[in-house]
Amino acid sequence: MQPHDWSRVLAAYRTPILSRALFELTVTLIPFVTLSALAWAALYLSTVLAIGLALINAFFLLRLFMIQHDCGHGSFLRNRKASDWIGRVLGVLTLTPYDVWRQNHATHHATSGNLDRRGTGDIPTLTVREYRARSRFGRLRYRVLRNPLFLFGLAPIYIFFLQNRLPVGLMRAGRRYWLSALGTNAAIASLLAVLYQFGGAEVLIFVFMPTTLLAASIGMWLFYVQHQFEDTAWEHDSDWNVQTAAIEGSSFYDLPPVLAWLTADIGAHHVHHLASRIPFYRLRQVLRDHEVLKDCGRVTLRESFRSARLHLWDEAEQRLVSFSRARAAPA
**Segment 53-69, tens digit of pLDDT:** 999 999 999 999 999 99
For residues 55 and 3, the model is more confident at: 55
Question: Does the reported pTM lie above 0.85?
Answer: yes
Give which of 125, 108, 135 is closest to 310, Cα–Cα: 125
Query: Tell me: the pLDDT tens digits for 256-292?
Result: 999 999 999 999 999 999 999 999 999 999 999 999 9
- Average pLDDT for 32-61: 97
3 pLDDT above the threshold of 80: no
- Computed over every residue of the chain, the mean pLDDT equals 95
Percentage above 90 pLDDT, the chain:
90
Neighbours of 5 (CB within 10 A): 10
72 pLDDT above the threshold of 90: yes
pLDDT of residue 328: 77
Give which of 217, 235, 42 is closest to 127, Cα–Cα: 235
Instruction: Give the phi and the psi of residue 49 in degrees, each rounded to 5.
Output: -65, -40
331 pLDDT above the threshold of 70: no
Query: Tell me: the pLDDT tens digits for 151-185?
Result: 999 999 999 999 999 999 898 888 999 999 999 99
Written as one letter, the residue type at 331 is A
90 pLDDT above the threshold of 70: yes
In whole angstroms, give the CA distance from residue 150 to residue 144. Answer: 7
121 pLDDT above the threshold of 90: no
